[in-house]
Amino acid sequence: MKKVRDDPMEKHTYKECDPAKTYLVTGAAGFIGFHLSQRLLEQGAAVIGFDNLNDYYDVNLKQSRLDILKRHPQFVFVKGDLADADTVNGLFSQYKPDIVVNLAAQAGVRHSITNPRAYINSNIVGFFNMLEAVRHSGSLCGKQAEHFLYASSSSVYGNQSKTPFSTDDNVNHPVSLYAATKVSDELMAYAYSHLYGMPTTGLRFFTVYGPYGRPDMAYFSFTNKMIQGKPIQIFNRGDMKRDFTYIDDIVRGMANVLCNPPASAEGAAPARVYNIGNSRPVGLLCFIETLEKCLMEEGVITRPAIKEFLPMQPGDVYQTFADVSELERDFDFHPDTGIEAGLRQFVRWYKAQYLSR
């Protein structure tokens, strides 16, 4: 099992996901939560899915993900809100999870500017309730949860110019409330690890995309507008870069981490944070051209998008670029899906989901 060490050249071994364990996945109706739950179920594990099914984006899409998960006899769905401490505690008492994966959160940088309270309720209060439930899981469940894995974000790096982004970089200058809540989550998790010996691992996700993705993400909203013949809005006049990471690569990386809680080393807290990204940034205009190509070759559109070039929006960052060397070292993480292959899979799913009825 992996131990926390500082030698960047040292390779570690890690345990595969254990199908005998029970996994609690919050945000199970969300994009990443759905894909992770599906992988665990296919491996024979029991998954307790928890989600409030809010209407931040199309609830029908969330329900379609759940419908797939419910085909598995080992899946149980519980509807509830992380901000309700009694509901969270009851969830632990009833289902006694071994591994806890907290993916539920209010997402979206721009939405945090117009609806900040939703981020405090979900990403701060809800996250605190999860930490407390894991801390007290021994009394709530009769056994202590083994690992608390949670979602952070590349947004924590703000607008820094140094690349690639390393987990050693200063993240004290978030440029959106969403990013600030994710930095806060990392700090709270570390404090709980330090105070109570709780093994916690945070994953800073870098622009995850693919089938069953979120409609508010650029590739999805661009596709909707291209089909409707509406202009797509390109911020900073296209001069932006993102470390687009395909969902299958993300889930493989997460699966390697799940059953490998960090250990205390020389008095340090059993807490780790990793970047999880593709480590190959793509320019926004190149990304759009690739999406157009896939859409045209799959017969979804017949001509390129109408483009509207706009200045940078508040809360946006110029670029993201993940240094994933630590995840490579500790968990053999090697993302191998190129942007065209990943977008083509998304386009084929989109066509089947929305245009083949």
- Which active-site residues does the annotation give? 178
Q: Give the angle subtended at the CA of 224 by the CAs of 153 and 151, to the nearest 5°.
A: 15
Tell me the CA distances in angstroms from 18 to 46, 48, 333, one per residue in order: 10, 15, 18
Cα–Cα distance measured from residue 135 to residue 191, given in angstroms and rounded to the nearest whole number: 12
Cα–Cα distance measured from residue 206 to residue 222, given in angstroms and rounded to the nearest whole number: 19
| Cβ-Cβ contacts under 8 Å for 38 (sequence gap 6 or more) | 68, 69
Residue by residue, DSSP assigns 252-287 as: HHHHHHHT-PPPP-TT--SEEEEEES-S--EEHHHH
With tokens 């419910």, the residue in question is: 70
Please, which residues bridge with residue 165 across strands?
322
For 61-81, give one letter per residue: b (16+ CB within 10 A) or e: bbeebbeebeebebbbbbebb
Cα–Cα distance measured from residue 198 to residue 298, given in angstroms and rounded to the nearest whole number: 48
Region of residue 266 (left: phi > 0; alpha: psi -120 to 50; beta: else):
left
